[in-house]
Structure 1
Amino acid sequence: MIDQSGIRTEGSLTLLDGSLHALRYIQQGMALVSTHGIGHVPVMLENRPAGETDKNGYLLLTDLPRYHNSKISINPLDLPADVIAPVTDMHARPGNSSAVKVDFNVHHAVTVQARLVDSRRRPLPLGSVVSTPQGATIVGRDGFIWLEDPPLPGELVVKTGEGECRVTLPAPRTASSIQNIGEQLCH
């Protein structure tokens, strides 16, 4: 194509995952990095800075080697405290002039801290297993637990060396992403 100044230009528009991108002509592969709407996340390609996601949580990486695994990563320390990145390293393997999506499943989370105690107000034993609908964790020193996205309100099942008990989690007191719900009785 020749523009108004008489300069020959080539390129294209591509729609990837509902996101429009202008491209120059390339014969290599592409990867669309997604952070689920969380913008300004720095992205590394082969351990080198490659850019950051836009305000919608996308970054298009071009000129990736065809049929070769390229390491794409994000640093969870670059994310706000209320944002969780379950996966931080992925490999993209685009074909010839094709695109792949690299979805880091980054999301906002509510984090709950509590101290679990028995009926005599003693901390539950270190290493007791706490079950939530999302999985399990263990009780830390002095009965403390740290949970990501627990059911609020909801119930936890705790298995100690002496048996099993249940903890009722209250509804959130504030809209804060970090909730300290204090001492909770396991009965």
Structure 2
Amino acid sequence: MISGVVVKHFLYCPAIVRITELGFEERVTDSMMEGEEVDKETVGNFLFGVLKAKELIRKPVYKYKDLVGSPDFVLGFSYYYSPLDVKYTNQVHMDHKAQVLFYAFIMEKLGFNVKQAILYYIPVKKLVKINYTNYEREYVERILRNIVKAKKGFLKVRQPVRKCANCGYFQFCKPKRVGNFYEREF
């Protein structure tokens, strides 16, 4: 099964996909707990009004074949739907974009007309809209193919030291330090 969290982890570091496939779980940090405590419901209601959506679906679970995704919200507009994920961080990250595009991909496979995916960053009150086109669809498909390879262990990873030092899976990965990088092969 590939979930939105798996997609997000893969973009952060492909080794995480293999490590979790082997049964290891990430250590929970204070930042992670803060993010869970945020009142996403209030944010969802606020964005529903600001974006002038016609419908707000809270925490839906969408399944298509071996894919499962659960965005924080789905906004329904006159002729299309948009998955909306709320993040409790100051910076826009590529893994967040990939995660919300993954939700758009599943929704499209299930017959929804999806034109964009949306991220909202609470601390900086920043709204990021990502158009969902053929390019984004192909991007998600490429990520999914690579995740399948990573789950099977066909993987060589090289990450900057600072990235690995903050990783909740570092203790399980045990990469080898080579200069300013850590390397790991599965």
Q: Using structure 1 for the length normalisation, give the TM-score.
A: 0.21
Structure that is richer in helix per residue: 2
Structure that is richer in strand per residue: 1
| Bigger radius of gyration | 1
